[in-house]
Amino acid sequence: MEVESAECECCELREDCTRGYILGVKADFGGRWLCGLCSEAVRDEAAKLGRKRGGGGGMEEALRDHMSFCAKCRKNPAFRVADGMRQMLLRRRSK
Ligand SMILES: [Zn+2]
């Protein structure tokens, strides 16, 4: 299996993944590769947006929201991205 290094478009985390996995993630997110944490957060948000509208979709919007969230985290060195995301996911799950 061919393994490549992919960089998350949101938090810039690098992961070594198989080519098939990278292509699968890119297909889900309009050609962008997201790490496990980010893709989970975006899928979660997109599902919520889809439910709110009573239909599918919401992926682009969820992706935009999450990317601006990650950009904010990167600008603030006191705020660690991984921690912030974990808290965000926990908060969402507890709702
Ligand atoms: Zn990420």
Our count of domains for the chain comes to 1
Helices (H) and strands (E) in the chain, counts: 4, 2
Q: Which structure tokens are listed for 12?
A: 């810039």
Ligand 1 center to residue 83 CA distance, Å?
A: 12
User: What's the pLDDT score for residue 3?
Assistant: 95
Question: What average pLDDT score do residues 83-93 get?
Answer: 71
> In angstroms, what is the span from residue 78 Cα to ligand 1's centroid?
18
Residue 5 carries which side chain, given as an amino acid letter?
S
Domain of residue 79, residue span: 3-94
Higher pLDDT, 86 or 19: 19
List, for residues 3-43, the tens digit of each pLDDT value: 999 999 998 899 999 999 999 999 999 999 999 999 999 99
The predicted-structure confidence for 45-80, as pLDDT tens digits, reads as follows 999 999 998 877 799 999 999 999 888 877 776 656
Q: Tell me, what's the pLDDT at 1?
A: 77
Ligand 1: centre distance to CA 85 (Å): 9
- CA 30 – ligand 1 centroid, Å: 15
Nearest-angstrom CA–CA distance, 28 and 92: 21
The region that residue 20 occupies, defined by phi over 0 for left and psi between -120 and 50 for alpha, beta otherwise, is alpha
